[in-house]
Amino acid sequence: MRIGLLGFGVVGRGVYDIVANREDIQVVKVLCLEDITLPDAVVTKNVQDILTDDSIDTVVEAMGGLHPAYEFVRAAMEAGKNIVTSNKALVATFYDDLIPYAESHGLKFRCTAAVGGGIGWLSEVERSRRIQPIHQVGGIMNGTCNYILDSMTRLGLDYSDALAQAQALGYAEANPSTDVEGIDTWHKVILSSNIAFGVSIEKSGVPAAGISRISAEDVQNFKDHGLVCKLIATGKCCDGAYSVYVQPTLVARSEMEANVPSNYNLITLYGKWSDRMSFYGQGAGRYPTAYNVVQDCEDILCGRGFYTPCGGSVSVTNGEEMRYYVRGGAVPFPVEENWGSAVVTAPVSVQEMHNWLKRNSEAFIAALGE
Tens of pLDDT, residues 249-305: 999 999 999 999 999 999 999 999 999 999 999 888 899 999 999 999 999 999 999
Return the closest-CA partner of residue 124 out of 63, 179, 196, 229. Answer: 196
Q: Which helix (H) or strand (E) holds 242?
A: strand 241-252
pLDDT score of 170: 87
pLDDT above 90: residue 219: yes
Instruction: Tell me which CATH homologous superfamily contains domain 2-86.
Output: NAD(P)-binding Rossmann-like Domain (3.40.50.720)
Instruction: Report the DSSP pairing between strands 109-110 and 82-85.
Output: parallel
Q: How far is CA 115 from the centre of its chain?
A: 4
Average pLDDT of 307-312? Answer: 92
Which 8-state DSSP code applies to residue 122? H
Backbone φ/ψ region at 73: left (φ over 0), alpha (ψ -120 to 50), beta: alpha
Catalytic site residues? Answer: 188
Q: Radius of gyration of the chain from Cα atoms?
A: 21
pLDDT score of 284: 87
CA gap 309, 219 in Å, rounded: 43
Residue ranges of the chain assigned to CATH 3.30.360.10: 121-368
pLDDT-derived band at 369 (thresholds 50, 70, 90) equals confident
18-61 pLDDT, tens per residue? 999 899 999 999 999 999 999 999 999 999 999 999 999 999 99
- Torsion over CA: 65, 146, 219, 248 (sign): positive
Residue ranges of the chain assigned to CATH 3.40.50.720: 2-86
Phi, psi (rounded to 5 degrees) for 222:
-65, -45
Question: In the beta sheet, which residues pair with residue 247?
Answer: 232
- 302-307's contacts with Cβ under 8 Å and 24+ in sequence apart are 303/108, 304/108, 304/110, 305/102, 305/103, 305/107, 305/108, 305/109, 305/110, 306/99, 306/102, 306/103, 306/108, 306/109, 306/110, 307/110, 307/122, 307/123, 307/125, 307/126, 307/129, 307/195
Residue type, 340: G
pLDDT score of 358: 97
CATH of domain 121-368: 3.30.360.10
Query: Does the predicted TM-score (pTM) go above 0.75?
Result: yes
